Structure formats: structure tokens, C-alpha cells
């Protein structure tokens, strides 16, 4: 290895390489590492990181000088910002409206337990309170880039993935706010010897970071939505520039670029179909950006720091691992989510990188804190990041595979059989009231912007008046047609009390599926009706759906082995 390193130093000499050459080397090293990782059945991310370690200063030293790393910082920042926008887009009301309880419960408990455990263990190892508090605050962060990249690599989709991405987003919001507050208290301690007088300052500074990022993210999102709705503005260019504006203004205003872009993504995901579509505009750039980001992360890993504070870094890693796992499990049980979700969530939150490194940089520039403390915290975090980025993807990948949601990010025959389109507590006076409530539910959970709620209701009622859509056995599939739309859309409701639907067997209906079909999708409409009819006529499936106590429980039935033959993948 030393001989190869000497050869590279001789060839390159003392001159700095062009940033284009550095990026090319990063891409080639990352692609090669990912390819080798694939052959060994390892996460591609781990291969990218190890490729970066190989060409970085820890091994060959092809790249890694201070000026080269500074030149590549904007690339890393943009990649993180793009990931933040993507994560923010997943915090869409229509996606998480009936899973908010478990998302908040898992996130709050996991952050609380992790911070508490890390602080407690740090004190057991005789670290002072300021240092323990800073380590605890930073421990709350979870690497969004690793999570998103693994989800894309494994083509995952389902309730677990939705919960995981949402929890990661909240983790990082909580971490940034917690870090700001903790740093204010610790600064006050070293300046005046007391922290009680700084509570107002800490709260105000945290509010500035939260509200400032929220306002800037929403404002940029609003402008972007207005621009992309006009034909003369190119979608890709608009969103590309918008992310750069968010990064630039955040840095100028002293805000977190990650938080600003996260709220930018939240706005896009919750405003309109046109705006939500922009979340996928930069997808062609994502593979190359991810490779660059993770390979650069590998080249930047501080293996020397890991050797210097290896013992303390392992203590921090272990305590954070225990805190994340225990907190996620407790939060999942408190949020009453399925065993499949909370068990796998316990192992999916290990990765920690970009945000933690960014907070260490901020801490390093704090002149109010002793240099010995900031150096120690930085060394421990950077060493732990090295461990987390190498082993973390293994845990997250294992959790995604165990959740049985890998390979499901493909179009299915009945796309609306998802958790967010299911309600289990429908109560109605009669079938007309039930149809009206389900139309309102569909309008709230889908992007139905080309028809009004009343128009949609009337088209379903007209079809129902021709002949009852009740099939017998407690099932009804009311449906209507609209002139245009992106695809067949629908919702499902469970009515435990039963509703008179003029069924041929006289039974009251407890399971209602509302379908709305565009005129150009009539052939697919017949396939969907046939599939749904066959599925719910299966007594085992039907009884399990009606007995579901939550949308998640109903979703578990649709994902079961018994139901997969009815709702098959189209590719």
C-alpha cells in the first residue's frame, strides 16, 4: 500500500488536481466499490464508502488535501440538500395522516431515550456535564442519505418505509433544535458559570432556527410552484436553482441548509400535484450524486481519530445504538404499531454522518467553549461516524429486508390498497351518507384537482342508482367515472355497524371500496373490479380486513401471502 501511495505522489507531484479530476476519481472509486459490494452481497453504500477510504488520505492518498475537500464541499452540501428535499416530501399529510401517532411516538421516544442513555453513559465514564450534554444532543441525529439510498437500492415501499423516512426527518429536526439549545446553555456556563439566565436566549435561538428555516423553505417552495406551473420555466432547472438558493440563503442567515430544504420538500409534498411532481424532477441526478456523496464521505473519514479515541468512540457508538433501539421499540409499542414495524425500526436508525459532522464543525468554531472539550467531542463524533458509516448500512439493510417491503416499489394492479387510503371507523346514516364521506376522504388523500367534491359525489351516486354495487357477503364497491385523471384512484372503509346497501343477499355492508376511474382507463377498471371482487370474496381475507383495528392492520392483510395473488405487480 505504501508503495502504491508513493507512486501516486510521484505522478501527481505537489500540484493540486483539478476539481473535475477529483470528482472523476470519486465516481470511479465509488462505482468500483459499489460493484464489488454487490458481488459480495453487501450494501452498495458500504462499497462506495470503502472506495472513498481507498483513494483517500487513509490509504492511497490520491485525494484528500484540504483544498480538494473544500472544493468539493458544495457538491456534498447539494447532495445532502437534495436528500433533505426528498425526505421532506415524504412528510405529506395525505401519506401520513393515519400514521402520525406512531411516527411521533417512535421519534420522540427514540430521541429522548438515546440522548438520556448517551449522557448517562458519558457521565459514567467521567466526562464532565458540558461534554456529556453536547454528545447527547448530537447523538439524536440519523443519517438521511444512507436511509434514502438504501430504500432506493432495495426498491422498498410500505408502512415501515413510510414510518422510517418520517422518523428520520423528525430526528434531524429535533437534533438541530436540541443542539442549538444545548450549545447556548453550555456557552453560558463557560462564560458566566451559570445557565439559568440563558433559557430565554436558548429558546429564542431555537425558535429562530425553526421558524427561519420554515419561512425560507415555504417561501422558496411557493415561488418554485408558481414558476413550474408556467410552461416557459423548465422544471429541472427551477428546482435545481431553488435548492441552491435555499443553501445560499441558509448559510447567509445562519440557518441549517438541511432544515431549510427539508421544509422546502414538505411544502412541495403538501401543496399541489404539480408541486409534488417536482420531487422527482432531479431523480436522474440522484445516482451520481449519491455515489459522489458516499465516496467523498469515505475519503473524509478520520481513521486516525478513531485510533486516538477508539475506546470512547466505541462507548458512544454502543450507547447510541442501545438508545436508538430501545427508544424505537418503546415508541412503537406506545404508538400501538405492529410488531413487524417496531422490531425492525430498532435496527434501522444506526447510520449517522452528514448532520453530525456539520454540528461538529459548528462546535469547533465556538470560541466560548474550551478548545480541549470541542476537540474531544469532535474526535469522538468523527470516530463514531467512521464506525456508523461502515456498519450502519448493514443494520438498515437488514431491517428493510426483514420488514418484507424490499422490491415493492413497483406498480400494482390496485395501487390504492395502501395504508393512507384506508379508514376503519366509518359511521354513516345510510349508503348515500357513506358514499359522501368516502368521496370526501378520497378528495383529502388523493390529488383530485380536476373535479369538485360535489361533481365526484354525483357521478358515484348516478352509478349507484342504476343498480346497487353491493356484492353480498358484506361487501360493496361503489364507483364512478371522471373525464381525466392520472390513474384509477380509490379508498377503502370498514364500517363495523354495517350499512344497508340493498345487497342481493340482504346483508348489511361492512366493507366498502370506492373507485374513481378516468375515461381512458376503462379496461384497467374492469381488471381492478375483478381483482377486488375475488380478493374480498375470499372468506379468510374478508374476515381479517373487517376485524382490522387500524389502517396498518388492514394493510398487513393486503400484504399477506393470501392476498398477493390478487393484487399483483404489473411489471
d(CA 499, CA 316): 57
Residues identified as active-site: 479
- pLDDT value of residue 2: 55
Cell 364500517 locates to 495
- pLDDT value of residue 304: 66
SS3 32: helix
Q: What's the whole-number average pLDDT of the chain?
A: 81
CA neighbor of 226 nearest in space, from 268, 266, 285: 268
Give me the phi and psi of 247, to 5 degrees please.
-60, -45
The alpha carbon dihedral of 447, 449, 454, 459 has a sign of negative
d(CA 472, CA 475): 6
How distant is the alpha carbon of residue 345 from its chain centre?
A: 13
What mean pLDDT is predicted for residues 485-514?
A: 85
- Mean pLDDT is lowest, of 65-74, 271-280, 352-361, 419-428, for 65-74
pLDDT digits (tens, 9 = 90+) for 303-340: 666 666 768 888 999 999 999 999 999 998 888 888 88
d(CA 109, CA 323): 9
Q: How many CB atoms lie within 10 A of CB 561?
A: 6
Pairwise pLDDT comparison (355 vs 112), residue with the higher score: 112
pLDDT digits (tens, 9 = 90+) for 508-528: 888 888 888 888 777 777 777
pLDDT digits (tens, 9 = 90+) for 259-287: 888 889 888 888 877 667 777 777 777 78
> 267-286: b or e for each residue (b if 16 or more CB lie within 10 Å)?
bbbbbeeebbebbebbeeeb
E strands in 410-536 = 422-423, 470-472, 475-476, 479-482, 489-499, 509-518
- pLDDT value of residue 158: 84
d(CA 487, CA 328): 36
- pLDDT value of residue 567: 67
- pLDDT value of residue 419: 83
d(CA 350, CA 447): 35
What mean pLDDT is predicted for residues 470-495?
A: 83
Is the pLDDT assigned to residue 505 strictly greater than 90? no
pLDDT digits (tens, 9 = 90+) for 175-195: 888 888 888 778 777 766 655
- pLDDT value of residue 11: 47
- pLDDT value of residue 392: 84
151 burial level (CB within 10 Å; 0-12, 13-18, 19+) = buried
Cα distances (Å, whole numbers) of residue 177 to 191, 205, 255, 484, 553:
21, 9, 11, 45, 34
SS3 447: coil
- The answer to whether residues 53 and 33 touch, using CB atoms and an 8 Å cutoff, is no
- pLDDT value of residue 219: 92
- The answer to whether residues 516 and 488 touch, using CB atoms and an 8 Å cutoff, is yes
List of domains in the chain? 66-402 (1.20.1530.20), 419-564 (3.40.930.10)
Q: How many residues does the chain have?
A: 571
- pLDDT value of residue 14: 46
pLDDT digits (tens, 9 = 90+) for 396-406: 898 999 888 88
- pLDDT value of residue 231: 73
- pLDDT value of residue 339: 84
Is the pLDDT assigned to residue 554 strictly greater than 90? no
Strand 489-499 and strand 422-423: pairing?
Answer: parallel
- pLDDT value of residue 81: 82
What mean pLDDT is predicted for residues 410-417?
A: 70
Is the pLDDT assigned to residue 413 strictly greater than 80? no
Name residue 516's beta-bridge partners: 480, 489
- The answer to whether residues 349 and 110 touch, using CB atoms and an 8 Å cutoff, is yes
- pLDDT value of residue 13: 46
The helix-helix angle for 129-139 and 371-402 (nearest 10°) equals 30
Whether this model's pTM surpasses 0.85: no
d(CA 151, CA 285): 16
- pLDDT value of residue 323: 93
Give me the phi and psi of 562, to 5 degrees please.
-65, -30
What mean pLDDT is predicted for residues 457-463?
A: 88
- pLDDT value of residue 375: 78
d(CA 265, CA 280): 11
Strand 479-482 and strand 475-476: pairing?
Answer: unpaired
- pLDDT value of residue 303: 65
pLDDT digits (tens, 9 = 90+) for 1-57: 555 555 545 544 445 677 778 888 888 888 898 888 888 877 777 788 788 888 877
- pLDDT value of residue 115: 94
Beta-carbon contacts of 13 under 8 Å, excluding residues fewer than 6 positions away, are none
Which helix (H) or strand (E) covers residue 254, if one does? none
Amino acid at each position: 500500500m505504501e508503495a502504491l501511495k508513493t507512486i501516486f505522489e510521484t505522478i501527481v507531484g505537489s500540484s493540486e488536481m483539478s476539481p473535475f479530476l477529483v470528482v472523476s476519481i470519486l465516481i470511479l472509486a465509488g462505482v468500483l466499490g459499489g460493484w464489488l459490494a454487490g458481488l459480495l452481497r453487501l450494501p452498495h453504500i458500504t462499497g462506495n464508502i470503502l472506495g472513498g477510504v481507498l483513494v483517500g488520505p487513509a490509504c492511497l492518498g490520491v485525494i484528500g488535501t484540504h483544498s480538494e475537500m473544500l472544493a468539493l464541499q458544495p457538491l456534498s452540501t447539494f447532495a445532502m440538500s437534495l436528500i433533505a428535499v426528498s425526505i421532506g416530501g415524504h412528510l405529506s399529510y395525505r401519506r401520513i395522516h393515519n400514521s402520525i401517532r406512531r411516527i411521533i411516538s417512535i421519534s420522540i421516544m427514540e430521541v429522548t431515550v438515546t440522548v438520556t442513555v448517551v449522557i448517562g453513559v458519558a457521565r459514567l465514564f467521567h466526562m464532565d456535564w458540558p461534554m456529556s450534554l453536547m454528545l447527547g444532543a448530537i447523538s439524536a441525529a440519523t443519517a438521511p442519505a444512507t436511509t434514502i439510498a438504501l430504500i432506493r437500492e432495495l426498491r422498498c415501499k410500505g408502512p415501515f418505509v413510510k414510518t422510517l423516512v418520517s422518523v428520520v426527518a423528525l430526528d434531524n429536526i429535533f437534533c438541530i433544535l436540541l443542539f442549538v439549545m444545548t450549545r447556548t446553555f453550555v456557552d453560558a456556563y463557560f462564560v458566566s458559570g451559570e445557565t439559568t439566565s440563558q433559557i430565554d436566549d436558548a429558546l429564542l435561538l431555537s425558535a429562530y432556527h425553526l421558524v427561519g428555516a420554515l419561512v425560507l423553505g415555504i417561501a422558496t417552495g411557493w415561488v418554485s410552484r408558481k414558476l413550474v406551473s408556467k410552461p416557459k420555466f423548465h422544471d429541472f432547472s427551477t428546482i435545481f436553482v431553488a435548492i441552491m438558493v435555499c443553501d445560499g440563503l441558509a448559510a447567509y442567515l445562519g440557518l441549517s441548509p438541511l432544515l431549510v430544504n427539508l421544509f422546502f420538500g414538505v411544502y412541495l409534498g403538501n401543496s399541489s400535484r404539480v408541486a409534488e411532481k417536482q420531487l422527482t424532477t432531479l431523480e436522474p441526478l440522484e445516482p451520481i450524486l449519491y455515489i459522489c456523496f458516499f465516496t467523498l464521505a469515505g475519503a473524509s473519514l478520520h481513521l486516525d481519530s478513531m485510533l486516538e479515541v477508539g475506546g470512547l468512540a466505541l462507548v458512544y457508538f454502543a450507547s447510541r445504538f442501545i438508545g436508538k433501539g430501545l427508544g424505537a421499540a418503546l415508541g412503537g409499542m406506545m404508538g400501538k404499531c405492529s410488531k413487524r414495524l417496531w422490531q425492525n425500526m430498532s435496527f434501522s436508525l444506526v447510520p449517522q454522518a452528514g448532520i453530525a459532522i456539520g454540528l461538529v464543525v459548528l462546535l469547533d468554531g465556538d470560541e466560548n467553549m474550551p478548545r480541549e472539550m470541542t476537540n474531544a467531542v469532535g474526535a469522538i463524533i468523527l470516530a463514531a461516524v467512521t464506525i456508523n458509516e461502515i456498519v450502519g448500512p448493514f443494520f438498515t439493510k437488514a431491517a428493510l429486508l426483514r420488514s418484507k417491503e424490499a422490491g415493492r416499489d413497483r406498480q400494482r394492479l390496485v395501487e390504492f390498497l395502501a395504508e393512507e387510503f384506508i379508514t376503519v371507523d366509518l359511521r354513516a346514516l345510510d349508503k348515500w351518507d357513506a358514499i359522501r364521506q368516502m368521496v370526501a376522504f378520497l378528495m383529502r388523500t388523493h390529488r383530485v384537482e380536476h373535479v369538485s367534491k360535489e361533481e365526484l359525489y354525483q357521478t358515484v351516486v348516478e352509478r349507484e342508482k342504476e343498480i346497487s354495487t353491493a356484492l353480498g357477503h358484506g361487501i360493496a364497491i361503489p364507483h364512478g367515472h371522471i373525464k381525466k385523471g392520472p390513474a384509477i384512484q380509490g379508498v377503502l372503509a370498514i364500517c363495523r355497524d354495517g350499512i344497508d346497501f340493498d345487497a342481493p343477499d340482504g346483508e348489511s355492508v361492512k366493507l366498502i371500496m370506492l373507485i374513481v376511474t378516468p375515461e381512458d382507463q376503462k379496461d384497467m377498471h374492469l381488471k381492478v373490479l375483478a381483482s377486488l371482487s375475488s380478493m374480498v370474496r375470499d372468506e379468510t381475507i374478508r374476515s381479517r380486513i373487517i376485524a382490522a383495528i387500524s389502517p396498518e392492520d388492514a394493510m398487513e392483510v393486503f400484504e399477506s401471502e393470501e392476498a398477493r395473488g390478487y393484487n399483483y405487480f404489473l411489471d
